[in-house]
């Protein structure tokens, strides 16, 4: 039976969790949702859209809001698979439809709820002997009496962040004090912040795919375990931080590693560590892990992202919008449409999942 796919985007900011707020991307990923929908349609997949004849330039013609009404409307129009191109959390409206047996592409909502918390996730990785940077959590309570057991410069970031939004490099205690007070008072990111050691070495981003059946170079390939796409190197940082892709297109500051770099022992090891980390969070869809080396060249996993941005240079007016995952996929011979079709192949439902 041919699937009929509808893509949902984030219509509202997700609820705060224990006082911590995850900021919302403007447009709620409707841009990447439209890229995915358009690409699937080009591949002769039946895509259910809110607009009868979606216009290439209008993102919202292609995607449904991730509200109960939005999802119901997609199902009423015939959708059999809902693509969760949105921020998930425990209690997300999709849970109601999962209980009713709908198939989805994306993560288990309550897992995202847990692992979106950088502090908790890095503790989990650390407990499993994976390398993560030293860090400390700062709240109003310990603002005046915390200790850094690492030296400046340090990185300050939201606990439930999104890309490099709200991430700053700080060079001394005075600047750190000012920034922490400012960020906590603004409450944009909620009542806690994350401060970690700054790693001065190379930064790479690794996309990890879930186990499943894939088509690679025209062949059916069974991947019995989590596996990674080739790492992508990040460069042209601004003040030590990779700029947010809403500001600088990924293709202008990122490149897939060369064959020689891919064969380096440290890179083979790092990919194994990222695959293991993704297994720990029981991912059902791609996960992106940002890693960075210290001065001695040892890599650490510093940011596990359950919802990689999935933009792709699919629609004619977006030629430079390939995401980090789309760039990595090119190295194994996948176009953006190959990537999207292979993601669709991994759709799941609770019936299969239990």
- CATH 3.40.50.720, applies to 132-197: no
Could you check whether the bond before residue 153 is cis, i.e. omega within 30 degrees of 0? yes
What CATH number has the domain spanning 4-106?
3.40.50
Residues 6+ apart with CB under 8 A from 156: 167, 168, 170, 176, 179, 180, 183, 193, 194, 195
pTM score: 0.95
Asked if 10 and 28 touch (Cβ cutoff 8 Å), the reply is yes
**Secondary structure class of 10 (helix, strand, coil):** coil
pLDDT in tens, the chain (354 residues): 689 999 999 999 999 999 999 988 899 999 999 999 999 999 999 999 999 999 999 999 999 999 999 999 999 999 999 999 999 999 999 999 999 999 999 999 999 999 999 999 999 999 999 999 999 999 999 999 999 999 999 999 999 987 778 899 999 999 999 999 999 999 999 999 999 999 999 999 999 999 999 999 999 999 999 999 999 999 877 877 877 666 677 878 899 999 999 999 999 999 999 999 999 999 999 999 999 999 999 999 999 999 988 999 999 999 988 999 999 999 999 999 999 999 999 999 997 554
Q: With 0-12 CB in 10 A as exposed, 13-18 as middle and 19+ as buried, what is 12?
A: exposed
User: What pLDDT is attached to residue 162?
Assistant: 78
Residues 6+ apart with CB under 8 A from 183: 156, 166, 189, 193
Q: Which residue's entry shows tokens 């990185």?
A: 155
Asked if 6 and 79 touch (Cβ cutoff 8 Å), the reply is yes
Residue 198 CB-half CA count within 13 A: 17
Which residues pair with residue 300 across a beta bridge? 292
Q: Which residue's entry shows tokens 């090891």?
A: 269
| Alpha carbon distance 252, 234 (integer Å) | 9
| Alpha carbon distance 160, 23 (integer Å) | 8
Asked if 41 and 314 touch (Cβ cutoff 8 Å), the reply is no
User: What pLDDT is attached to residue 239?
Assistant: 79
The β-bridge relationship of strands 203-209 and 227-228 is antiparallel
Residues of the chain with CATH 3.40.50: 4-106
User: What pLDDT is attached to residue 238?
Assistant: 80
CA-wise closest residue to 140 among 184, 186, 178? 184
Determine which helix (DSSP H) or strand (DSSP E) holds 341, and give its type and residue range.
helix 336-345
**CATH fold label, 203-332:** D-amino Acid Aminotransferase; Chain A, domain 1 (3.30.470)
Residues 6+ apart with CB under 8 A from 302: 122, 132, 133, 196, 199, 290, 291, 292
Residues of the chain with CATH 3.30.470: 203-332
| Alpha carbon distance 283, 228 (integer Å) | 13
| Alpha carbon distance 174, 152 (integer Å) | 11
Residues of the chain with CATH 3.30.1490.20: 132-197
């Amino acid at each position: 039976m041919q699937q009929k796919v509808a893509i949902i985007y984030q219509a509202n900011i997700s609820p705060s969790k224990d006082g911590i707020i995850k900021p919302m991307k403007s447009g709620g990923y409707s841009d990447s949702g439209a890229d995915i929908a358009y690409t699937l349609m080009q591949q002769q997949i039946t895509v259910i859209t809110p607009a009868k004849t979606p216009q290439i330039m209008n993102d919202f013609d292609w995607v449904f809001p991730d509200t109960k009404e939005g999802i119901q409307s997609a199902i009423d129009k015939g959708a059999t698979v809902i693509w969760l191109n949105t921020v998930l959390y425990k209690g997300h409206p999709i849970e109601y439809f999962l209980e009713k047996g709908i198939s989805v592409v994306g993560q288990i909502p309550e897992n995202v709820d847990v692992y979106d918390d950088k502090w908790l996730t890095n503790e989990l990785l650390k407990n499993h002997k994976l390398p993560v940077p030293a860090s400390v959590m700062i709240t109003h309570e310990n603002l005046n009496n915390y200790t850094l057991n690492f030296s400046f410069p340090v990185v300050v970031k939201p606990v439930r962040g999104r890309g490099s939004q709200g991430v700053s490099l700080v060079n001394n205690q005075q600047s750190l004090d000012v920034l922490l007070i400012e960020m906590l008072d603004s409450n944009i990111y909620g009542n806690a912040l994350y401060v970690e050691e700054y790693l001065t070495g190379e930064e790479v981003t690794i996309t990890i795919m879930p186990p499943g059946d894939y088509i690679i170079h025209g062949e059916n390939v069974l991947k019995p375990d989590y596996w990674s796409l080739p790492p992508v190197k990040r460069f042209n940082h601004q003040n030590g931080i990779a700029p947010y892709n809403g500001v600088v297109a990924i293709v202008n500051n990122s490149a897939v590693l060369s064959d020689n770099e891919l064969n380096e022992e440290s890179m083979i090891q790092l990919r194994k560590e990222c695959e293991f980390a993704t297994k720990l969070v029981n991912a059902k869809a791609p996960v992106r892990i940002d890693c960075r080396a210290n001065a001695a060249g040892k890599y650490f996993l510093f940011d596990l992202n359950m919802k990689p941005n999935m933009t792709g240079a699919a629609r004619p007016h977006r030629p430079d919008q390939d995401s980090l995952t789309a760039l990595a996929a090119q190295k194994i011979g996948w176009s953006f449409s190959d990537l999207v079709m292979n993601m669709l192949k991994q759709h799941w439902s609770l019936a299969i999942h239990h």
